[in-house]
Amino acid sequence: MGSIRSRQSNPPFRMRVYGLLLFVFLILCAACFPTDLFAAKIVRVGFYENSPKIFTAESGLPAGIFADIIRYIAEKEGWELRFVHGTWSQGLDRLEKGDIDLMPDVAYTEARGKLFSFHSDPALYSWFQVFSRRGSGIRSIPDLDGKRVAVLYRSIQQEIFDRIIRDFGLSVSFVTFSDFESAFQAVANGKADAVLTNRFFGAHHMRAYNLEDTAISFNPTRLFFAAPRDSDPAIPAAIDKHLREMKRNPDSVYFSSLAQWTSSPVFMVIPTWLKSTATLLAFLTLLGGILSFAFKRQADSRAAELTRLFDNAPMGLFFSGRDGTIKRTNAEALRMLGLESADILGEKVEDFIRRSGKRDEKDAVTKESFSSEFHAEGKRKDGTTVPLACIVFPLTPSGKMLGTYTVFQDISLQAANEKRIGSIIRELNRTVSALKKSWEQTVLVLASLSEVRDPYTSGHQRRVARLAAAIACEMGMERRKARQVELAAMIHDIGKIEIPSEILSKPGKLSDIEYRLIQTHPAAGHRILQTIEVPWALAEIIHQHHERMDGSGYPRGLSGSDILMEARIIAVADTVEAMSSHRPYRAGKGIEAALGEVASQRGKGFAPDVADACLRLFREKEFRFDEEPGRIG
SS3 content of the chain, % helix, strand, coil (to 5): 50, 20, 30
The distance of closest approach from Cβ of residue 421 to Fe ion in the complex, given in angstroms and rounded to an integer, is 46
Name which of residues 152 to 171 contact Fe ion (CB under 5 A): none
Q: Which residues pair with 405 in a beta bridge?
A: 319, 393
Q: How far apart are the first and last CA of the chain?
A: 210
Nearer to Fe ion, 49 or 574 (CB): 574
CB of 57 closer than 8 Å to CB of 83: no
Stretch that binds Fe ion, among 196-204, 406-414, 487-495, 560-568 (CB under 5 A): 487-495
The number of CA neighbours under 13 Å toward the Cβ of 461 is 28
The distance of closest approach from Cβ of residue 479 to Fe ion in the complex, given in angstroms and rounded to an integer, is 25
What's at 120, amino acid-wise? S
What's at 625, amino acid-wise? F
Residue 461 to residues 387, 451, 482, 633: CA-CA distances in angstroms?
A: 57, 8, 16, 15
Stretch that binds Fe ion, among 353-361, 489-497, 536-544, 602-610 (CB under 5 A): 489-497
Question: Does 451 sit near Fe ion (CB under 5 A)?
Answer: no
The distance of closest approach from Cβ of residue 570 to Fe ion in the complex, given in angstroms and rounded to an integer, is 9
The distance of closest approach from Cβ of residue 521 to Fe ion in the complex, given in angstroms and rounded to an integer, is 6
Nearer to Fe ion, 332 or 574 (CB): 574
The distance of closest approach from Cβ of residue 545 to Fe ion in the complex, given in angstroms and rounded to an integer, is 6
Q: Give, for 86, the enclosing helix (H) or strand (E).
A: none
Stretch that binds Fe ion, among 300-308, 341-349, 367-375, 493-501 (CB under 5 A): 493-501
The distance of closest approach from Cβ of residue 493 to Fe ion in the complex, given in angstroms and rounded to an integer, is 4
Nearer to Fe ion, 148 or 453 (CB): 453
The number of CA neighbours under 13 Å toward the Cβ of 477 is 21
Stretch that binds Fe ion, among 207-215, 292-300, 485-493, 592-600 (CB under 5 A): 485-493
Question: Does 493 sit near Fe ion (CB under 5 A)?
Answer: yes
DSSP 8-state secondary structure symbol assigned to residue 545: T
Nearer to Fe ion, 151 or 576 (CB): 576
The distance of closest approach from Cβ of residue 609 to Fe ion in the complex, given in angstroms and rounded to an integer, is 22
Nearer to Fe ion, 175 or 494 (CB): 494
The distance of closest approach from Cβ of residue 600 to Fe ion in the complex, given in angstroms and rounded to an integer, is 20
What is the total count of residues that contact Fe ion (CB under 5 A)? 1
Stretch that binds Fe ion, among 2-10, 292-300, 492-500, 530-538 (CB under 5 A): 492-500
**Other CB atoms within 10 A of residue 424 CB:** 10
Q: For strand 79-85 and strand 41-47, is the pairing parallel, antiparallel, or unpaired?
A: parallel
Rounded Cα gap, residues 466 and 543, in angstroms: 19
The distance of closest approach from Cβ of residue 480 to Fe ion in the complex, given in angstroms and rounded to an integer, is 24
Nearer to Fe ion, 493 or 547 (CB): 493
The distance of closest approach from Cβ of residue 504 to Fe ion in the complex, given in angstroms and rounded to an integer, is 11
Nearer to Fe ion, 339 or 465 (CB): 465
Nearer to Fe ion, 506 or 616 (CB): 506
The distance of closest approach from Cβ of residue 605 to Fe ion in the complex, given in angstroms and rounded to an integer, is 14
Nearer to Fe ion, 493 or 577 (CB): 493
Nearer to Fe ion, 147 or 589 (CB): 589
CB of 453 closer than 8 Å to CB of 497: yes
Residue 231 to residues 79, 81, 117: CA-CA distances in angstroms?
A: 15, 16, 8
Nearer to Fe ion, 300 or 493 (CB): 493
The distance of closest approach from Cβ of residue 537 to Fe ion in the complex, given in angstroms and rounded to an integer, is 17
Nearer to Fe ion, 164 or 491 (CB): 491
The distance of closest approach from Cβ of residue 424 to Fe ion in the complex, given in angstroms and rounded to an integer, is 42
Stretch that binds Fe ion, among 78-86, 137-145, 396-404, 486-494 (CB under 5 A): 486-494
Angle CA 47–50–54, to nearest 5: 50
Helix 234-248 / helix 65-77 crossing angle, nearest 10 deg? 110
CB of 626 closer than 8 Å to CB of 466: yes
DSSP 8-state secondary structure symbol assigned to residue 511: P
CB of 588 closer than 8 Å to CB of 582: yes
* Chain center to CA of 530: 61
Residues 246-258 as b or e (16 or more Cβ within 10 Å = b): bbbeeebbbbebb
Name which of residues 364 to 393 contact Fe ion (CB under 5 A): none
Sequence-distant (≥ 6) Cβ neighbours of residue 65 within 8 angstroms: 52, 53, 54, 123, 124, 200, 257, 258, 261, 262
- Residue of closest CB approach to Fe ion: 493
Residue 553 to residues 304, 342, 524, 556, 567: CA-CA distances in angstroms?
A: 83, 87, 16, 7, 12
Nearer to Fe ion, 502 or 533 (CB): 502
Stretch that binds Fe ion, among 124-132, 160-168, 447-455, 488-496 (CB under 5 A): 488-496
Site residues for Fe ion per CB under 5 A: 493
